[in-house]
Amino acid sequence: MTPGQILASILLALSIGFGGAWQVQDWRMGEKLAAQAGLHKDDLATISDAATAQARAEQGKRLATEQQLARQDQQHTKELSDAQRDQARLRDRLATSDLRLSVLLEDSASGCSVPSTPGAVGLVHAARRAKLDPAHAQRIIAITDAGDQGLIALRACQAYVRGVAP
């Protein structure tokens, strides 16, 4: 064997050795990468499941809040319609003279004035009363109607804020 052939044989043996080592290293790295990919996939599945569960919980909370707000809206709408119906009935009674509004007058001669505490309805002894003109009574009822509607709207807004606020 010539020195060139020996050298070629040694180079061939070295390249086969390096190639085999390279191949073994490639297999080992492939296995490690496959294991890491599997762990990564498991982590992503866990994260995805947690995000899905959280989204469902948030959706459930939102749905419960929407239902609560819908119930409150129905309640306040009913209160408003009841108040409007009562005011309309009162206006009708005033218009037909079935009901007359009156006010207590102060008696300057005796020093008596309107009592500070309400007594029994209709039992104001020795008090002078003045009946209001029906047009004025209608305006007073309209003012109280607007006030009632404002109070009902305020309660509705407060209930909404309480329902939405964390």
Residues 132 and 124: beta-carbon distance below 8 Å: no
Report which residue type is found at 135. Answer: A
From residue 151, alpha-carbon distances to 49, 76, 105 in Å are 47, 11, 29
> In this predicted model, what pLDDT tens digit does every residue of 81-106 receive, in sequence order?
998 899 888 888 888 877 788 878 87
Report the pLDDT value the prediction gives residue 30, as an integer from 0 to 100.
84
Burial 11-32 (b: 16+ CB within 10 A, else e): eeeeeeeeeeeeeeeeeeeeee
Percent of the chain with pLDDT over 90: 26
From residue 124, alpha-carbon distances to 97, 112, 113, 129, 153 in Å are 22, 12, 11, 10, 35
Half-sphere exposure of 120 (CA within 13 A, CB side): 2
Does the global pTM surpass 0.85?
no
- The continuous run of DSSP H or E covering 131 comes out as strand 128-131
> In this predicted model, what pLDDT tens digit does every residue of 34-51 receive, in sequence order?
888 888 899 999 999 999
Checking 20-23 for CB contacts under 8 A at 24+ apart, the result is: none
Q: What is the 3-state secondary structure (H, E, C) of 65-121?
A: HHHHHHHHHHHHHHHHHHHHHHHHHHHHHHHCCCCCCEEEECECCCCECCCCCCCCC
Average pLDDT of span 20-35: 84
Q: Is the pLDDT of residue 1 over 50?
A: yes
